Chain A
Amino acid sequence: MADLSCEFLGIQSPNPFWLASAPPTDKAYNICRAFSAGWGGAVWKTLGEDPPPANVCSRYSAHRDTHGRILGINNIELISDRPLQVNLDEIKQTKKDWPDRALVVSLMVPCKEESWKRILNQVEATDCDGVELNFGCPHGMPELGMGAAVGQVPELITKVTRWCKQHTRLPVIVKLTPNVTDIVQTAIAAQAGGANAVSLINTINSITSINLDTMVGYPPVGNHCTSGGYCGEAVKPIALNMVGQLARHDETAKLSVSAMGGITTWRDAAEYLSLGATTLQVCTAVMLNGFKIIDELVDGLSRWMDQKGYRTLSEFRGAAVASLTDWNKLDLTYKSVAHIDQSHCIQCGRCFAACEDTEHQAIAFQTSDDGKDRTFEVITGECVGCNLCQITCPVEGCITMINPPGSNPEL
C-alpha cells in the first residue's frame, strides 16, 4: 500500500489532501468533521482584523453544462465574518485535538506592517502549523486595498511577505491570484519576500450567468450582482497550467507549491503532483459533495500508485514537468493519425460531422445498400492527427491516435 503521507515546509500530514481556505473551513465544527472524515489538513478560512466584515445574501452561483451538470461555481463570500478571538480560540483547540493534521491559517489585513505584526503574534499563539497570506480574494476585499489588490502588484507582494517573515517563526505560504497576466512574476515576487511556498490558484473573476427574466446576473443580491470568484472542475486546466509554468521556470522551479483549482478526483490530484505540487487543496468538490469524498480521493490515488509501483508521493512528484516545453521546441516531424475501431463504432457520425465541417475532411462516410449500416473510416492520407474526432467520439477506446508506418514516435 502506497504511503500518502507528506511533509510540506516541515508540516506533516497523513495525506496531501487539505481543505482550502474557504467557506468549509470557517469554524472548528466543519474542520473537525473533515478531519474525522480523513482529510490530511486544512487552511482555516481567512482571518482579518475586527470588526469582521458582513456577508451578503445570496453568495454562490453555478455554471452548468447543457444537461445540468455543474462545471464550476462562483462565490462572493468575504473573509471570516466571525470575531477574531472566536476563530483564534477554535484554531487552538482544533490543533490540540488533531495534532497529526496540518492546520494552516489564512490571513488578510490592511497593507500596514503593524497590522500584519499584530495578527501574526495572535495566530502564532494558537500553535497552528503555518500561515497562508490571502493575496488573491477577487471580490470585496480588493476595494479595501487587500486580497487581489495586493496579489496583482509584485512590489506589494514582496513587501508584505517580507514583513510576515520578519514577524513570525511560522512558515509563510503566499496564495497567488490567477487574475494576472503572468503568474511567474507574482511567484518570483513572493519568493523575493522570503515566502517558504506559494499556493495557487485563488478564484478567477467571473459572472456565471444572467437571469434572462430579471436581467440580473448570478448570484443576485436583490437587483444587483457583482463579479465573483470562479472555481470547480472548469478551472482545473487554468490552474494546472499555472502550476506547470512555475515548475518549468528556472527562477520558481524550486519553490514549494500547494496546488488547488478544481481538484475533484484522484486523477486531478495525481496530475497536480506530477507537475510538482507537494500538497493539494480542495474546496468546490467538498462543497458539492461533502467531506466523504476524501475516501475516494485517497483510495484512488494510492491504488494508482500501487499499480505504478510508486511507494511515496515524492517518487512521482514533478514527473511530468520535463514534458513541458515551448511551442517552438515541439517536434514538427512527429505524426499521429486517427484510427476508428469498427467493432466499437456505434455509427453516430459525430467524428464525421466534426472532421467534415470543421477540420480536414479526413473521414469517409458510407451507407450500406439497405441503409441500415453506416461506416466511418479515417482517410489516413488526409488526417492531420488533430484529435478532434477522438474528442467527439462517445465511445471510449473507439478512436485511437496511432503513429502511422514510417513515422518515428521516439524522436
Chain B
Amino acid sequence: MASKDIRNHRMSDEVYQENFSDIKPPLSFYQSRLEAGRCLYCHDAPCISACPTGINIPSFIHRIADQNVDGAAQVILEENILGGSCARVCPTEVLCEQACVRNHPPECKPVMIGRLQRFAIDHRQTAAHPFIRAQTTGRSVAVVGAGPAGLACAHKLARLGHDITVFDAHSKPGGLNEYGIAAYKLVEDYAQKEIRFIFEIGGITLEAGSRINLGHQLADLSVQFDAVFLGIGLESAKSLGLPDEPSEGVEEALGAIKTLRQTKNLAELPVASRVVVIGGGNTAIDIACQMRRLGAEEVTLAYRRGIQQMSATHHEQLFAKENGVRIIPWMKPTGFESKAGQLRGVRFVRTAEAPTGELIETGEQITMTADRAYKAIGQTITADSFAYGKLALSKNGKIRVNDQFRTSISNVWAGGDCVDKGEDLTVHAVQHGKLAAQAIHQFLQPPEVQVEQGDGRP
C-alpha cells in the first residue's frame, strides 16, 4: 500500500505474533489444581444459574481438583458442546464469575471459572467423542447457519439419532466464532478444531458455501426436511443514516474483523495510522484493540451515549484502555471528511442526556482526524429472510419465537442472534440451539410419545 497513512508491515513479525497470541494464556496443571481448590462447592451454587447454559460448575471444578479432567470436560460438554470456545470468549466477569461467592469480602476475587473450563476441555484425554449417537431415527433436520446456535442444535439432534444437514453461506463453518471474534481470543484455528470435534458425533452433513435465501427457499426446506432450525445470525450491518456514509475509508467493523481473522500473515494487512471506531459494544472494542495491535498509531472509540450505557463490559473497556484505545463518549457522528478520495476525518456533534433520559445534541461540533473509520453499531437480520411471509417478526426486527424457540411456522425453529431473546452472546446462542433441539426432538417423536410442549419439558 503506497499511502504513508495506510500501510502494512508496520512492525516486526515477532511483534505481530506476540500481539495476536492468546490474550488469556491457559492454566497449567498446577495452576488449575490450585485454582480448583478455591471453589467452595456451594450449595445450589449461584454460578450455575448465572451460566446461560446451566453448566454444573462446582461439579466440574471438583473433578479437576480430583484430577478427573475427562469427567470435568463431560460435565461441561453435557450442557454446552461449545464449552471450549465459550470458555475463551464468554464475558465470564458478568456471567458465572460475577455470581461466584468469593466476590464477597473478605476475598473479593472470584474463582477463575472460565479458565478452569478451558483447562478441562483442552486437557480431555479420551480419544473417543464424549457422546454416543442414538440409533438413527430416519428423521431429517435442516440447520441454516453453522454458527454457535446451529452447531449446538445440530449436535444435540444428531446425538438423538436424527440426520442433520447444516447449510452455511461461508466457505468455513463457525459463524462469528470463525469470522467475528477477535483473533487473540480464539487462537490456533480453534473454531475449526472445535467444529471437527462436534461433528465426530456423526449424522451431520455440512453444506458449506451454500447460501440459503430464506425468502425463496424456506418453504422448500420445510417440506424437504422434517424440521428446520434457523441460526442465521445478523448479517446486515446497520446504517448510520448519513448521506456520505458509503465513503472510501468507511468500513464495517465486522467485515474488517472477518478479513483479519482469515489473513494468514497479518503483516500483509494494510492498517491506517489514525482510526476512529464508531460504536460502544464488544465488536467496537474488538476492532479498536485489533487495530492498535496491528500497529495503528491512534485509535479512538467514539460512542453516542455515556460510558455507563456502553454494551461492552467494564472488563472489555479496561482491556481497550490497556491497548491504548481512547474512549470518548457522548459523540454522535454527523458526517465524513474526505480529500482526493481519501478519508481525512469524522465529524461529530457532542450529545448529552436530557433530564427526561432522552439523548440530545449540544450543538458542539467536533472533527476527529481519521484515515479509516469503522462502524460497529450493530447488525440486523438480512431483509430477504422475511420475504417468505409466513416467518413472523418480533418488534425489533428479529425472528419471533416462542419459549421453545419455535417460529410462526410449525416445523421451523430459530435461535442465536437472529431471535429476540437474551443478549447476543455465543453462550446464549448455544443455549438457544440446545433448547430448540430438545423441542424439535419432541416434535419429531411419533404422536403417542409426544408430550404437551407447554412448558418445554419432556
Which residues in A have some Cβ–Cβ distance to B below 8 Å? 66-68, 345-350, 352-353, 356, 365, 371, 374, 394-395
**Interface residue? B65 (CB, 8 A):** yes
A contact residues around B107 at 8 Å (CB): 346
Partner of A348, one of B34, B37, B101, B106: B101
- A350 and B42 alpha carbons, distance in the complex (Å): 6
- A394 and B36 alpha carbons, distance in the complex (Å): 15
Contact at B104–A66, with CB atoms within 8 Å?
no
- A356 and B105 alpha carbons, distance in the complex (Å): 25
Q: Interface centre among A67, A365, A371, by most B CB within 10 Å?
A: A67
Q: Interface residues of B toward A: which range?
A: 20 to 34
Contact at A349–B44, with CB atoms within 8 Å?
yes
Interface residues of B in 35-87 (CB under 8 A from A): 36-37, 40-46, 49, 65-66
Contact at A68–B40, with CB atoms within 8 Å?
no
Contact at B43–A68, with CB atoms within 8 Å?
no
What are 8 of the A-B contact pairs (CB < 8 Å)?
A66-B37, A346-B102, A346-B104, A346-B107, A348-B42, A349-B42, A352-B43, A356-B43
- A353 and B58 alpha carbons, distance in the complex (Å): 14
- A395 and B103 alpha carbons, distance in the complex (Å): 13
- A395 and B45 alpha carbons, distance in the complex (Å): 17
| Residue ID in chain A nearest B42 by CB atoms | A348
Partner of A374, one of B34, B36, B46: B46
B contact residues around A394 at 8 Å (CB): 40
Extra A-B contacts (19), CB below 8 Å, given A348-B43, A350-B43: A66-B65, A67-B37, A67-B65, A346-B101, A346-B105, A347-B42, A347-B46, A348-B101, A349-B42, A349-B44, A350-B40, A350-B41, A350-B42, A365-B43, A365-B44, A374-B44, A374-B46, A394-B40, A395-B106
B contact residues around A371 at 8 Å (CB): 49
**Interface residue? B33 (CB, 8 A):** yes
- Knowing A346-B102, A347-B104, A348-B101, the reply to whether A67 touches B42 (Cβ < 8 A) is no
B contact residues around A348 at 8 Å (CB): 40, 42-43, 101
- A374 and B45 alpha carbons, distance in the complex (Å): 10
B contact residues around A365 at 8 Å (CB): 43-44
- A371 and B44 alpha carbons, distance in the complex (Å): 12
A contact residues around B41 at 8 Å (CB): 350
Q: Could you tell me the distance in whole angstroms from the C-beta of B66 to the nearest C-beta in chain A?
A: 7
B contact residues around A352 at 8 Å (CB): 43
Interface residues of B in 76-135 (CB under 8 A from A): 101-102, 104-107
Q: Could you tell me the distance in whole angstroms from the C-beta of A227 to the nearest C-beta in chain B?
A: 25
Contact at B43–A67, with CB atoms within 8 Å?
no
- A349 and B43 alpha carbons, distance in the complex (Å): 5
Q: Could you tell me the distance in whole angstroms from the C-beta of A391 to the nearest C-beta in chain B?
A: 14
| Residue ID in chain B nearest A69 by CB atoms | B37
Which residues in B have some Cβ–Cβ distance to A below 8 Å? 33-34, 36-37, 40-46, 49, 65-66, 101-102, 104-107
A contact residues around B66 at 8 Å (CB): 66
Q: Could you tell me the distance in whole angstroms from the C-beta of B187 to the nearest C-beta in chain A?
A: 29
**Across the A-B interface, the 9 shortest Cβ-Cβ residue pairs:** A349-B43, A67-B37, A346-B104, A353-B43, A348-B42, A348-B101, A346-B101, A348-B40, A352-B43
- A143 and B37 alpha carbons, distance in the complex (Å): 42
Contact at A67–B46, with CB atoms within 8 Å?
no
B contact residues around A68 at 8 Å (CB): 33-34, 37
| Residue ID in chain B nearest A347 by CB atoms | B101
A contact residues around B106 at 8 Å (CB): 395
- A142 and B104 alpha carbons, distance in the complex (Å): 55
| Residue ID in chain B nearest A349 by CB atoms | B43
Q: Could you tell me the distance in whole angstroms from the C-beta of A90 to the nearest C-beta in chain B?
A: 40
A contact residues around B101 at 8 Å (CB): 346-348
- A66 and B36 alpha carbons, distance in the complex (Å): 10
| Residue ID in chain B nearest A392 by CB atoms | B40
- A347 and B107 alpha carbons, distance in the complex (Å): 13
Q: Could you tell me the distance in whole angstroms from the C-beta of B206 to the nearest C-beta in chain A?
A: 40
- Knowing A346-B104, A347-B104, the reply to whether A67 touches B33 (Cβ < 8 A) is yes
- A356 and B49 alpha carbons, distance in the complex (Å): 21
Q: Could you tell me the distance in whole angstroms from the C-beta of A372 to the nearest C-beta in chain B?
A: 8
- A394 and B42 alpha carbons, distance in the complex (Å): 11
| Residue ID in chain B nearest A346 by CB atoms | B104
B contact residues around A67 at 8 Å (CB): 33-34, 36-37, 65
Q: Could you tell me the distance in whole angstroms from the C-beta of A310 to the nearest C-beta in chain B?
A: 31
- A90 and B40 alpha carbons, distance in the complex (Å): 52
- A356 and B44 alpha carbons, distance in the complex (Å): 13
B contact residues around A345 at 8 Å (CB): 104
Q: Could you tell me the distance in whole angstroms from the C-beta of A208 to the nearest C-beta in chain B?
A: 16
| Residue ID in chain B nearest A398 by CB atoms | B106
A contact residues around B34 at 8 Å (CB): 67-68
B contact residues around A374 at 8 Å (CB): 44, 46
- A371 and B117 alpha carbons, distance in the complex (Å): 25
Q: Could you tell me the distance in whole angstroms from the C-beta of B113 to the nearest C-beta in chain A?
A: 15
- A350 and B34 alpha carbons, distance in the complex (Å): 20
A contact residues around B44 at 8 Å (CB): 349, 365, 374
B contact residues around A353 at 8 Å (CB): 43
Q: Interface centre among A348, A352, A365, by most B CB within 10 Å?
A: A348
Q: Could you tell me the distance in whole angstroms from the C-beta of A399 to the nearest C-beta in chain B?
A: 14
- A365 and B102 alpha carbons, distance in the complex (Å): 19
- A130 and B84 alpha carbons, distance in the complex (Å): 65
- A66 and B41 alpha carbons, distance in the complex (Å): 13
- A386 and B435 alpha carbons, distance in the complex (Å): 45
| Residue ID in chain B nearest A352 by CB atoms | B43
Q: Could you tell me the distance in whole angstroms from the C-beta of A121 to the nearest C-beta in chain B?
A: 53
- A244 and B308 alpha carbons, distance in the complex (Å): 63
| Residue ID in chain A nearest B102 by CB atoms | A346
Q: Could you tell me the distance in whole angstroms from the C-beta of B441 to the nearest C-beta in chain A?
A: 29
| Residue ID in chain B nearest A397 by CB atoms | B106
- A68 and B28 alpha carbons, distance in the complex (Å): 14
| Residue ID in chain B nearest A354 by CB atoms | B43
A contact residues around B37 at 8 Å (CB): 66-68
| Residue ID in chain B nearest A363 by CB atoms | B43
- A201 and B223 alpha carbons, distance in the complex (Å): 82
Q: Could you tell me the distance in whole angstroms from the C-beta of B32 to the nearest C-beta in chain A?
A: 11
Q: Could you tell me the distance in whole angstroms from the C-beta of B98 to the nearest C-beta in chain A?
A: 10
- A51 and B299 alpha carbons, distance in the complex (Å): 80
A contact residues around B65 at 8 Å (CB): 66-67
Q: Could you tell me the distance in whole angstroms from the C-beta of B63 to the nearest C-beta in chain A?
A: 11
- A346 and B34 alpha carbons, distance in the complex (Å): 21
Q: Could you tell me the distance in whole angstroms from the C-beta of B13 to the nearest C-beta in chain A?
A: 40
A contact residues around B33 at 8 Å (CB): 67-68
B contact residues around A349 at 8 Å (CB): 42-45
- A365 and B40 alpha carbons, distance in the complex (Å): 17
Q: Interface centre among B34, B41, B46, by most A CB within 10 Å?
A: B46
A contact residues around B46 at 8 Å (CB): 347, 374
